[in-house]
Amino acid sequence: MASFSVLLILACTILASDAAAAVRVGLTRIHADPEVTASEFVRGALRRDMHRHARFAREQLAPSSAAAAGLTVGAPTQKDLRNGGEYIMTLSIGTPPLSYRAIADTGSDLIWTQCAPCGDTVTDTDNQCFKQSGCLYNPSSSTTFGVLPCNSPLSMCAAMAGPSPPPGCACMYNQTYGTGWTAGVQSVETFTFGSSSTPPAVRVPNIAFGCSNASSNDWNGSAGLVGLGRGSMSLVSQLGAGAFSYCLTPFQDANSTSTLLLGPSAAAALKGTGPVRSTPFVAGPSKAPMSTYYYLNLTGISVGETALAIPPDAFSLRADGTGGLIIDSGTTITTLVDSAYQQVRAAVRSLLVTRLPLAHGPDHSTGLDLCFALKASTPPPAMPSMTLHFEGGADMVLPVENYMILGSGVWCLAMRNQTVGAMSMVGNYQQQNIHVLYDVRKETLSFAPAVCSSL
Ligand SMILES: *[C@@H]1O[C@H](CO)[C@@H](O)[C@H](O)[C@H]1NC(C)=O
Ligand SMILES: *[C@@H]1O[C@H](CO)[C@@H](O)[C@H](O)[C@H]1NC(C)=O
Ligand SMILES: *[C@@H]1O[C@H](CO)[C@@H](O)[C@H](O)[C@H]1NC(C)=O
Ligand SMILES: *[C@@H]1O[C@H](CO)[C@@H](O)[C@H](O)[C@H]1NC(C)=O
Ligand SMILES: *[C@@H]1O[C@H](CO)[C@@H](O)[C@H](O)[C@H]1NC(C)=O
Ligand SMILES: *[C@@H]1O[C@H](CO)[C@@H](O)[C@H](O)[C@H]1NC(C)=O
């Protein structure tokens, strides 16, 4: 059985300061579930776009007493697809602490979990809660739960609420993601990182979070999400962590636990089996949700020694906030604007097309665009690495395992294309076995190749 518990916590009672200690949390794949085989997982994961980046997080409507601002937007949701490629962290909420599993997402800010009572208890058909693993958190059983005042700086409604909101004003949100949504009331709680079995646990009071009572059915395998984005609501910002890092174990490896480190010592702990490279974050638009994202300056892509002819402005951020490229832990498959994608696709195709038959049609059912048929028991041929060249000579080398994905009988380029002008994303599949450090204080991303299961 896969272990979902937190690995180790360093002693420190107060994190929200410069003297913050590191928090170390284990990350598991949603598919680290003994009943799901790796190839079922690949099929399931690829059928949907696991885009957890926030689509919209802006306040509308002024809050009123009791019922307040609706943060309402439109976005398609995809249903009835199992087993995403997200990484899950375990943390605890409330007093007494109740542990829950949450998707770790650098592409959004809100921390949220489902709260009881969830959905409409009168008619089951109106129940808008998804079935979660583990117990449902019930605010009325916790002594540290509170509803966040609408004018709190950590409330998404603050801008609309003004300095003196009506008494009892509650900020209601509906946070939409690239895939899925969740809605509820903004609240505060004491969170615990660590568990009673691995003392000492770190307890942090007054963390603003979303107490969701309605969500789309896109969150199987979790009980919510932890936003690690740049905004004030994210766990990184609320802890005053300054830096965080993760090292993601390979996709097909359900047995090992990945590591997430939060706090200044994350920077000190960055090590790998190769050189550490650093690149500055690019200043993003100040508008939500783009203000949440970690933008990077991708200046080129090579396959083997060949630099691809990618238009120089392919990944440029436009004045209107569109375009650009972000790094995201909550998205699985990298998406590139079509002008770049077609170059990558052509390079990979030309290296493989003489060696393997192309797999066409719905039978390969991965939703990916370039797939090759593999004979059973024949391992895929050797391929050169792909390099993402980031500003400042920061080359991120992707071994073939990080850009090709093995399904049942097919081997596919694990990337998708995006309309020109849309945002490109470096997903978590491409970040396997790379130790990645987000130094939000220094505004740099650093990374090094690593064996993440032994970190
Ligand atoms: C939240 O927004 C989504 C997307 O627009 C919508 O489908 C859903 O019904 C909304 N949920 C609530 C409770 O308002
Ligand atoms: C979630 O899992 C349940 C059973 O485990 C399944 O019936 C349901 O269809 C799944 N939903 C999604 C969106 O995957
Ligand atoms: C969620 O809670 C809010 C505030 O209490 C309430 O107005 C809303 O009807 C609830 N939604 C559901 C689906 O129960
Ligand atoms: C993972 O663990 C299971 C059960 O302990 C074992 O059967 C399987 O071979 C392991 N897989 C890997 C990749 O080590
Ligand atoms: C990206 O890097 C290139 C090469 O160093 C530089 O010319 C360009 O100005 C950078 N773009 C941004 C948005 O920083
Ligand atoms: C993505 O690529 C496929 C073929 O490689 C093409 O048919 C499709 O139009 C492209 N989509 C976009 C949005 O450019």
What is the pLDDT at residue 127? 72
Instruction: Assign residue 121 a region (left: φ > 0; alpha: ψ between -120 and 50; beta: otherwise).
Output: alpha
- What confidence category does residue 29 fall into, taking pLDDT thresholds of 50, 70 and 90? low
What is the Å distance from ligand 3's center to 91 Cα? 25
Report the alpha-carbon angle 330-194-273, nearest 5.
Answer: 60
> Pick the residue with more confidence: 280 or 72?
280
What is the pLDDT at residue 11? 19
What is the pLDDT at residue 382? 96
Place of tokens 């801008």: 159
Closest atom, ligand 3, to C-alpha of 118: 14
Is 221 found in the same domain as 161?
Answer: yes
Is 61 found in the same domain as 102?
Answer: yes
CA dihedral 431, 331, 393, 341 (to 10 degrees): 110
Residues 6+ apart with CB under 8 A from 337: 314, 315, 323, 417, 418, 419, 420, 421, 422, 424
314 and 340 in contact (C-beta within 8 Å)? yes
What is the pLDDT at residue 259? 79
What mean pLDDT comes out for the span 404-422? 88
55 and 330 in contact (C-beta within 8 Å)? no
Domain range for 301: 277-454
Q: Which of 310, 391, 445 to mutate to test the pocket of ligand 5 (most atoms within 8 A of CB)?
A: 391
Which ligand is nearest the CA of 119, by number? 3
Q: Could you say which DSSP state residue 273 is in?
A: S
Q: Is the pLDDT of residue 365 over 60?
A: yes
Domain boundary among the residues 267, 301, 330 is at 267
Is residue 178 in some structural domain?
yes
CB of 426 within 6 A of ligand 1: the answer is no
**Among protein residues, the one whose CA lies closest to atom 10 of ligand 4:** 255
Is 327 found in the same domain as 238?
Answer: no
> Pick the residue with more confidence: 54 or 107?
107
| 332 alpha-carbon distance from chain centroid | 8
What is the pLDDT at residue 223? 92
Summarize pLDDT for 114-134 with one digit per residue, the tens.
999 886 555 555 678 998 878
- What confidence category does residue 385 fall into, taking pLDDT thresholds of 50, 70 and 90? very high
**Catalytic residue positions, numbered:** 105, 328
Closest atom, ligand 4, to C-alpha of 253: 13
- What confidence category does residue 333 fall into, taking pLDDT thresholds of 50, 70 and 90? confident
Any idea which of 151-155, 291-295, 319-323, 444-448 has the lowest mean pLDDT? 151-155
What is the pLDDT at residue 208? 95
Nearest CA to 223 out of 305, 148, 129, 142 is that of: 129
Give the chain's domain count.
Answer: 2
Nearest CA to 422 out of 290, 325, 299 is that of: 325
Is residue 393 in some structural domain?
yes
What is the pLDDT at residue 123? 53
Domain boundary among the residues 211, 244, 267 is at 267
Percentage of the chain with pLDDT > 70?
77
Parallel/antiparallel/unpaired status of strands 386-390 and 444-449: unpaired
24 and 10 in contact (C-beta within 8 Å)? yes
Is residue 1 in some structural domain?
no
Is 57 found in the same domain as 178?
Answer: yes
What is the Å distance from ligand 3's center to 67 Cα? 9
Summarize pLDDT for 290-306 with one digit per residue, the tens.
899 999 999 999 999 99
What mean pLDDT comes out for the span 391-395? 97
What mean pLDDT comes out for the span 49-67? 44
CB of 75 within 6 A of ligand 1: the answer is yes
- What confidence category does residue 45 fall into, taking pLDDT thresholds of 50, 70 and 90? low
Is residue 366 in some structural domain?
yes
Q: Could you say which DSSP state residue 316 is in?
A: P
Domain boundary among the residues 232, 247, 267 is at 267
Q: Is the pLDDT of residue 363 over 70?
A: no
What mean pLDDT comes out for the span 430-455? 94
Read off the tokens for 324: 């650009």
What mean pLDDT comes out for the span 18-22? 42
CB of 79 within 6 A of ligand 1: the answer is no
- Give the span between the Cα atoms of 446 and 245, in whole angstroms: 9
- Give the span between the Cα atoms of 351 and 30, in whole angstroms: 33
* CATH number, domain containing residue 181: 2.40.70.10
To the nearest whole number, what is the mean pLDDT of the chain?
79
- Give the span between the Cα atoms of 12 and 421, in whole angstroms: 45
The predicted model scores a pTM of: 0.85
Residues 6+ apart with CB under 8 A from 284: 230, 290, 291, 293, 295, 317, 324
Place of tokens 């093995």: 406
Q: Could you say which DSSP state residue 333 is in?
A: S
